[in-house]
Amino acid sequence: MILTGAGVSAESGLGTFRDKDGLWTKYDLSEVATPEGFATDPAKVHDFYNARRANALDAAPNAAHDALARLQAARPGEVLLVTQNVDDLHERAGSTRDVIHMHGALTGALCATCNHRWTAPRVMSPEDRCPKCTAPSTRPDIVWFGEFPYQMEEIYTALAQCGLFVAIGTSGQVYPAAGFVQEARAAGIETLEINLEASDGSGYFDRALHGPATEIVPHWVDTLI
């Protein structure tokens, strides 16, 4: 099981959150990534995610996404990618199955009234109506702080059964994902961190490979296949 974070998409030109110049140094997380922020100023929240969606659509998968897709192709059904990323670069690199977007996806729209889901247009606005119930309460299908991440049962089941847990390009600061390494360790599962530098959770991993994802991940995948 491979957990990915913003560091995997950094070299595709998408900003991380907590690095120097990261998104949370420029935006107030409570204003743009919480249900309360959306209730207060939905236009500001849509503007934030419209910009993220535009960046993601203009970006291309990098060598790390490609290598992970190559690993999945070499070991069909054996490699589950759990991503905290809301971009679709894993899919565009060829990871078309066994990908869980635990924090949602920029490509999705969600009705806050009836929970209907559909493909997000490139630009969303507070006036947009739900195609099913027509309420003007559409939001990006993104998991905000204070909400439950998606498919957690499936993730914990896979984690308990996996032979190796790898975290790539994530700072280990946001739970529940940050706790996966401890769950894996408690179950006696081997753990590996791949990150630009030691993360907050580095001490929990059995092994670490530090450096840019586009260099480390392809090399690591080569050693596996």
Q: Which residues are catalytic?
A: 103
Is 61 an interacting residue with respect to ligand OAD (CB under 6 A)?
Answer: no
| Of 96, 115, 173, 182, the one binding ligand OAD by CB under 6 A | 173
Q: How far, in Å, CA of 53 to CA of 57, rounded? A: 6
User: In angstroms, what is the minimal distance from the CB of 36 to ligand OAD?
Assistant: 14
User: In angstroms, what is the minimal distance from the CB of 132 to ligand OAD?
Assistant: 25
Q: How far, in Å, CA of 73 to CA of 71, rounded? A: 5
Nearer to ligand OAD, 158 or 208 (CB): 208
Instruction: Looking at residues 2 to 21 of the shown chain, list those that interact with ligand OAD (rule: CB under 6 A).
Output: 5-7, 10-11, 16-19
User: In angstroms, what is the minimal distance from the CB of 7 to ligand OAD?
Assistant: 2
Which one, of 128, 185, 140, lies nearest residue 33 by Cα?
A: 140
Q: What's the alpha-carbon Rg for the chain, to the nearest Å?
A: 17
Q: How far, in Å, CA of 52 to CA of 46, rounded? A: 10
Q: 117 φ, ψ to 5°?
A: -120, 145
Nearer to ligand OAD, 138 or 199 (CB): 199
User: In angstroms, what is the minimal distance from the CB of 5 to ligand OAD?
Assistant: 3
| Of 58, 78, 127, 197, the one binding ligand OAD by CB under 6 A | 197
Residue closest to ligand OAD, measured at CB: 7
Is 84 an interacting residue with respect to ligand OAD (CB under 6 A)?
Answer: yes
Q: Which residues have a Cβ under 8 Å from the Cβ of 134 and sit 6 or more positions away?
A: none
Nearer to ligand OAD, 13 or 121 (CB): 13
Please tell me the count of residues contacting ligand OAD according to CB under 6 A: 26
Instruction: Looking at residues 87 to 126 of the shown chain, list those that interact with ligand OAD (rule: CB under 6 A).
Output: 103
Q: How far, in Å, CA of 18 to CA of 5, rounded? A: 11
Cα→Cα distances 12→18, 72, 174, 184, Å: 17, 20, 22, 29
Alpha helices by DSSP H, listed for 162-204, are 180-186
User: In angstroms, what is the minimal distance from the CB of 16 to ligand OAD?
Assistant: 3
Q: Are 126 and 136 in contact (CB under 8 A)?
A: yes
Which residues form the interface with ligand OAD (CB under 6 A)?
5-7, 10-11, 16-19, 22, 33, 84, 103, 143, 145, 169-171, 173-174, 195-197, 199, 212-213
